[in-house]
Structure 1
Amino acid sequence: MTDTKIDGPPRLSRLTFHNPLSEDRASRLVQRVARNSPSTVLDIGCGWGEFMMRVLVAAPGATGRGVDINAEDLERGRREAEGRGLAGRVEFLEKSAQDADLGSADLVLCLGSSQALSSVAPPEFTLEALRALRGLVNDGGRVLLGEGFWERTPTAEELAGMWPGAAVTDHHDLATLLDLAVAAGFRPEWTETANLDEWEEFESGYQADLEVWLAQNPGHPSAAETRERLDRHRAQWMTYRGLLGIAYLTLVPAQ
């Protein structure tokens, strides 16, 4: 999913998280990873860092670093951190996760961003990203991975209706994903998956600002391009709805 800034509407203002993640699940995940008392948090592909900042609130002694290449999201994160009194405890870096010297952390977050850690083509990139995460987390720490998986194997017709170039090899099934995490040097402490309500909340929120703007500005010079993009993405979503899942894996580095 590619974000293109269109003159006029706000960008993704309806989304709290840039993932299919409900408030209830986010709260449980935050408490689970904060229970390990991390002192350092690293967020790969952080966006505006909502989840990371909630961890910092739950772990008052922790500091955080968020890494992303989207300057607009990072600026939103800095504003949010300032408003929550976290500016002195969190840093937002506009860098590629592959190019940056990320160091290591007690808690590494990678929520829907594993592609930022590997340039290897699917399906091998998943294992490479997991190995990179193992190298970033301190012994005794945790990784929270949000990763896509196939709920079932999609047909050729279904793949043709998804994102350009969609292939069966773009994702694994959940069992294989867990096996790859173990092969990369982790033990899965907790496994959970987003439900349909969370997906619908996310996908609707992803489009909502532009849909309302388009309805109110049909004559804008960007309206035709915006309409085509929204209709295309909605058709893709209706195709992978119920097929594409996302797992939230709390991973313990094996020593």
Structure 2
Amino acid sequence: MDIPRIFNIMESAHRIHNPLTPEKFATLGAALRLESGARVLDLGSGSGEMLCTWARDHGVIGIGVDMSQLFSEQARLRAEELGVADQVKFIHDDAAGYVSEGKVDVAACVGATWIGGGFTGTIELLARSLRSGGIVLIGEPYWRQLPPTEDIAKGCLANAISDFLVLPRLVASFGLLGYDVVEMVLANQDSWDRYEAAKWLTMRRWLEANPEDELAQEVQSKLTSEPERHAAYTREYLGWGVFALMPRLCLKQG
């Protein structure tokens, strides 16, 4: 079980596999007012940076689940590096359908909502692990500006314009699902650069070390095309954010 090898290659040097920076994850942790001992479930946990740094900075405990064997091992090493290996556990598994044995204070899927067929299904999945009064975290793209053509949407690696919403509609959609949006931290163009541009040097170094590999031509093709694609499309049109949601209260009328 693993993600396609090309992604392991391109993001092998990443600690964060989405367009948030360490500073923005720190902002998010502080904004959620995390308490020591809070239980966190992170589906699609990547290399574990969010869970590990929150364990160090806020004393949370938790479990991360990710399909990438490489990223899961990097997460375990990061936990040891930060001295939090007794607080967090990382499982190499398919996060789709994963439900924690005990209820958690924060149930997160930050950038892998494909596990539930989109953010609606992923929220439903996370809710199965959430305690009463807990917080769901969803990381999701949105259009910074609506692409004028379908070709531009495809340049952002979407299948169609309809794949994503503009930010106000995305926020409103969480309300339609019965959730209050209680916080959000958004990527910006600089943090998109840090996510995308960091892949390019990784690919170049990998090609230097593996010129005969069966994926060498594919990696070279991406290294040739990705800088221009990102500058023309992703950077200009695509936003990304983490949204904190709580189930809406049933208040008495009158």
Same fold (TM over 0.5): yes
Q: Give the count of matched residue pairs.
A: 243
Structure 1 64/35 Cα, relative in aligned 2: closer, same or farther at 3 Å? closer
Structure 2: where are the runs of 5+ without partners? 250-254
1:184-223 per-residue CA deviation (whole Å, 9 max, x = no partner) reads 2321112332111101111111232112343x46954553
Q: Which amino acid aligns with 2:84?
A: L
Structure 1 3/29 Cα, relative in aligned 2: closer, same or farther at 3 Å? farther
Structure 1 190/233 Cα, relative in aligned 2: closer, same or farther at 3 Å? same
1:131 corresponds, among 95, 120, 124, to: 124
Alignment of 1:26-105 (within 5 A): 26-35=25-34, 39-60=38-59, 62-103=60-101, 104-105=103-104
How far apart, CA to CA, are the structure 1 residues paired with 2:31 and 2:199? Answer: 27
Alignment of 1:162-241 (within 5 A): 162-163=156-157, 166-214=159-207, 216=208, 219-222=211-214, 223-238=216-231, 239-241=233-235
Shift of residue 235, structure 1, vs aligned partner? 4.3
Partner of 2:252: none
1:159-193 per-residue CA deviation (whole Å, 9 max, x = no partner) reads 34343x62112111111211221222321112332
Q: Which amino acid aligns with 1:135?
A: R
State the TM-score, normalizing by the size of structure 1.
0.84
Shift of residue 99, structure 1, vs aligned partner? 3.4
Q: Output the aligned Cα RMSD.
A: 2.6
Structure 1 236/67 Cα, relative in aligned 2: closer, same or farther at 3 Å? same
State the TM-score, normalizing by the size of structure 2.
0.84
Q: Structure 1 runs of 4+ off > 6 angstroms?
A: none
Asked if structure 1 preserves the Cα contact closer than 8 Å seen for 2:107 and 2:127, the reply is no
Structure 1 114/38 Cα, relative in aligned 2: closer, same or farther at 3 Å? farther
SS at match of 2:72: helix
Asked if structure 1 preserves the Cα contact closer than 8 Å seen for 2:197 and 2:227, the reply is no
Structure 1: where are the runs of 5+ without partners? 120-124
How far apart, CA to CA, are the structure 2 residues paired with 1:227 and 1:67? Answer: 31
Structure 1 220/126 Cα, relative in aligned 2: closer, same or farther at 3 Å? same
Identity %: 25
Asked if structure 1 preserves the Cα contact closer than 8 Å seen for 2:106 and 2:134, the reply is yes
